[in-house]
Amino acid sequence: MMEEDFYATLKLKTGEEIFAKVCAEEMEDKTILLISYPASISEVKTRMGICGYKLEPWLKTTSEDMFILNMDDILTMSESYDIEMISMYQSYVRQYQKLQNNQSKISRKMGYVANVNDAKEILEKIFKSS
């Protein structure tokens, strides 16, 4: 049975704190969480003492936007009703989606495209001639 989505801050057993849109689902004898666009949160302080928050992708080496977490990996979870935090998160998601849609495809207009064997030959010739 699918529950309604909600915004939440999750503290994982690893110590990581993430903010995401969450959907809880019961599967057989355990609960899993589907999290969309999880963002790690860090505090930003200035010399004046003004504090804010910075959102970054939770996992930086993937372009996936949805992940599955087992409830056993979660230390605590707090549903968020903070309009400012939700608004900041939604802005982060829009920017993330915009970046994903604008990623360049490799083309010949970008420069020379070669296969591995051709590139290896060329580099070996350059190396031997130096």
Higher pLDDT, 42 or 114: 42
CB count in 10 Å sphere of residue 57: 18
| Residue 122 included in any domain | no
In whole angstroms, give the CA distance from residue 25 to residue 54: 29
CATH number at residue 38: 2.30.30.100
| Residue 87 included in any domain | yes
Return the pLDDT at 57.
Answer: 92
Return the pLDDT at 116.
Answer: 79
Return the pLDDT at 61.
Answer: 87
In whole angstroms, give the CA distance from residue 119 to residue 125: 10
Give the global pTM.
Answer: 0.69
Domain total for the chain? Answer: 1
| Residue 32 included in any domain | yes
In whole angstroms, give the CA distance from residue 63 to residue 59: 9
| Residue 111 included in any domain | no
| Residue 115 included in any domain | no
pLDDT over 70 at 113, yes or no: no
Q: Average pLDDT of 32-52? A: 88
Return the pLDDT at 54.
Answer: 86
| Residue 97 included in any domain | yes
Q: Tell me: the pLDDT tens digits for 52-109? A: 888 899 998 888 889 999 998 999 999 999 999 999 999 999 988 887 777 656 666 6
The domain in which residue 21 lies consists of 6-103
